[in-house]
Amino acid sequence: MASTESGNPIEPVYGPGDLTGWDPEVKLGEPGAYPYTRGVYPTMYTGKPWTMRQYAGFGTAAESNARYRQLIAGGGTGLSVAFDLPTQMGHDSDAPLAHGEVGKVGVAVDSVDDMRVLFDGIPLDRVSTSMTINAPAALLLLMYQLVAEEHGLEGAQLTGTVQNDVLKEYIARGTYIFPPEPSLRLTADTFRYCKAEIPRWNTISISGYHMAEAGASPAQEIAFTLADGIAYVRTALAAGMEVDEFAPRLSFFFVARTTLLEEVAKFRAARRIWARVMREEFGARNPKSLMLRFHTQTAGVQLTAQQPELNLVRVAVQALGAVLGGTQSLHTNSFDEAIALPTEKAARLALRTQQVLAYETDVPHTVDPFAGSYAVERMTDEVEEAALALMRRVEDLGGAVAAIEAGFQKGEIERNAYRIARETDGGERVVVGVNRFTLEQEERYEPLRVDPRIEDRQRAALAALRAERDGEAVAAALAALREAAAGTANVLYPMKEALRARATVGEVCNALREVWGTYEPTDSTW
């Protein structure tokens, strides 16, 4: 018998008898109403489509800016910025650890000078921007605000999201800098800062995507993501904030796999669980605090370098699952991403995939098309039950941070990833073009290549910046930042002044490293 990604059997036929204890009024409700199983808005896409937010960034700020302009001209309604690994880890392009990685998997941003070039000519008051950055998220958000101020814009005019989810870095991705406690303090400071200064900004995108890419099942993905969300809520409450002050700006980030039915069920279950947690555990009263709003990205881990054009089909199916599941924004991967950074043509085709779904299908014309489906409603219950069981285990260990330190989530994900790998290697799990329907000779494909001279150019730009800026002002601003980090003041205010003085990403992060230290992972005991 076939089974779902979470290991539950898929029955050949479903009917009313499969929905044990089913009460549609309790389980479903109406779209835009508690418990939001059917979607967070009553009209969903019948008024306007989801935000088409393409994830892009490579090489220099100027090169990425050119790609952003192409995406906007092609009909994109939101930008999603990919940063290179040195930036994600809080290192400048001329740091020894950055060698060989500058501009490779995203754009290199060393200072506000780079951010200025990155968004040159982009109408920041009309484009919603998401920044995929975590440990140094506050720095990049402040640089964005500084550039917007140079454009004559106020914080209240800016909309977008900063990922800012460091807990999943300890679990699945690894681009952490500081230990969990000061990292959570930085997250809470960002919540407070944005409430006062950038009120329409989504201050965190609590991410299950990277856990799924590391091998998490759908149930594990939402369980560990929502457990992280609970940890962030508790952190903000402990910092003295009221739940309805910050909860409406929380957002989430999930994957969409090719297993369309269970993915739709996963999104429905996640909304239902989060609504109940926020109302019953945290006493939230604002309906927006109960809504699990999420961005979706199609599954990069399911793309193949073999017969890469097949990825166009995979991405279309994955995107359809995200739309049927009620996503608020969507990024569709380019078909060539398993080989290299996307070419301009591949990025355009990825956006066109969303546009076909939005404008050529009838899916957006009705709210929650799968409501009442015997199969999907049964799968929703099964995913919810499995996720809740995992969340209880996290709580029994003392919460998300304690479970991370014990290696629980990482161990669970690694076991599931091993199961998937064995099934693929054994042929039980079919991957078209890889273990079945293969070609004897693959067609030659010419990927996009990043200019290796980018690192030299970034180094030269940093040398020029340090030579021409006011060094005493930078030193004073960094000293003020260290003082705030050692105390209880909100670190974003002195951080903004340091960045305004043209302190670099590496210098700001090093100032915090001096006070907070760095995280050293422990081996899993699970």
Residue 24 is assigned to a structural domain of this protein: no
pLDDT interval class at 13 (50, 70, 90): confident
Q: What is the mean pLDDT of the chain?
A: 94
Please give the pLDDT value at position 22. Answer: 67
- Examine the domain organization and report whether 401 and 483 are in the same domain: no
Question: Residue 524 pLDDT more than 70?
Answer: no
Please give the DSSP secondary-structure letter assigned to residue 334: P
Residue 104 contacts by C-beta under 8 Å, 6 or more apart in sequence?
Answer: 58, 84, 85, 450
Residue 461 lies in a domain: no
Q: Is the peptide bond before 179 cis (omega within 30 degrees of 0)?
A: no
Cα–Cα distance between 48 and 382 in angstroms, integer? 31
Q: How many CA atoms lie within 13 A of 186 on its CB side?
A: 30
State pLDDT tens for residues 77-88: 788 899 999 999
Q: Of 263, 326, 268, which is closest to residue 27 (Cα–Cα)?
A: 268
Q: Tell me: the pLDDT tens digits for 286-319? A: 999 999 999 999 999 999 999 999 999 999 999 9
Q: What is the pLDDT of residue 521?
A: 83
> What is the average per-residue pLDDT within 448-456?
85
Q: Determine the pLDDT at residue 266.
A: 98
Do residue 411 and residue 500 come from a single domain? no
Six-digit token pair at 289? 């605090």
Q: Given this model, what pLDDT does residue 53 score? A: 87
Q: Are residues 395 and 507 in the same domain?
A: no
- Summarised one tens digit per residue, pLDDT across range 205-240 is 999 999 999 999 999 999 999 999 999 999 999 999
Q: Is the pLDDT of residue 523 over 70?
A: no
Bridge partner list, 295: 253, 329
18 within some domain: no
Considering the domain architecture, whether residues 120 and 221 belong to the same structural domain is answered as yes
In a domain, 226, yes or no: yes
Q: How far apart are alpha carbons 356 and 320 in whole angstroms?
A: 10
Residue 292 is part of which domain span? 43-426
* Position 447 in a domain: no
What is the percent of the chain where pLDDT is above 90?
85
pLDDT (tens digit, 9 = 90+) per residue, 96-134? 999 999 999 899 999 999 999 999 999 999 999 999 999
Task: Give the mean model confidence (pLDDT) for residues 391-418.
Answer: 97
Q: Choose one of 375, 393, 426: the last residue of a domain.
A: 426
Domain count, the chain: 2
Together in a domain, 419 and 478: no
pLDDT recorded at residue 343: 87
Report how far residue 505's alpha carbon sits from residue 87's, in angstroms, rounded to the nearest whole number. 7
Q: Would you say residue 97 lies in a domain?
A: yes
List, in sequence order, every residue forming a beta bridge with 204; answer none if it has no partner: 250
Strands 204-207 and 160-162: unpaired
- Residue 452 belongs to a domain: no
**Domain boundary residue, one of 426, 459, 488:** 426
Q: What is the pLDDT of residues 53-96, one digit of tens each?
A: 888 888 899 999 998 998 888 888 788 899 999 999 999 999 99
pLDDT of residue 526: 63
- CA dist., res. 420 & res. 437, Å (int): 19
Domain boundary among 373, 404, 426: 426
Q: What is the maximal distance between C-alpha atoms in the chain?
A: 74
Instruction: State the alpha helices, DSSP H only, in 151-279.
Output: 167-168, 180-197, 209-213, 218-238, 243-246, 260-276
- State the DSSP code for 84: P
Question: According to the model, what pLDDT value does residue 26 have?
Answer: 65
Tokens 């006493």: give the residue.
Answer: 283
The span from the CA of 113 to the CA of 107, in Å, is 13
Residue 132: name the closest of 54, 242, 246 by CA. 54
The length of the chain in residues reads 526
Q: Exposed (0-12), middle (13-18) or buried (19+): which is 144, by Cβ within 10 Å?
A: buried
**In terms of domains, do 281 and 181 share one?**
yes
The answer to whether residue 15 scores a pLDDT higher than 90 is no
For position 342, what pLDDT does the model report?
87
pTM of the complete model? 0.92
What is the distance, to the nearest Å, from the Cα of residue 135 to the centroid of all Cα atoms in its chain? 13
Q: DSSP secondary structure string, 423-453? A: HHHTTSS--BTTTBS--SSPPP---B---TT
The pLDDT score that the predictor gives to residue 28 is 78
- What does the pLDDT look like over 349-387, one tens digit per residue? 999 999 999 999 999 999 999 999 999 999 999 999 999
Per DSSP, what are the bridge partners of residue 254?
296
The confidence score (pLDDT) of residue 25 equals 65
The reply to whether 205 and 329 lie within a common domain is: yes
Cβ atoms 101, 85 nearer than 8 A: yes
For the domain that residue 295 is a member of, what is the CATH number?
Answer: 3.20.20.240
- CA distance to 58, 135, 321, per residue, from 85 (Å): 11, 12, 30
Look at residues 275, 274, 349 and name the one whose alpha carbon lies nearest to residue 319: 349
Smallest CA-to-CA distance from 179 within 490, 419, 518 is with 518
Which whole number is the average pLDDT over 318-339?
A: 96
Average pLDDT over residues 178-204: 96
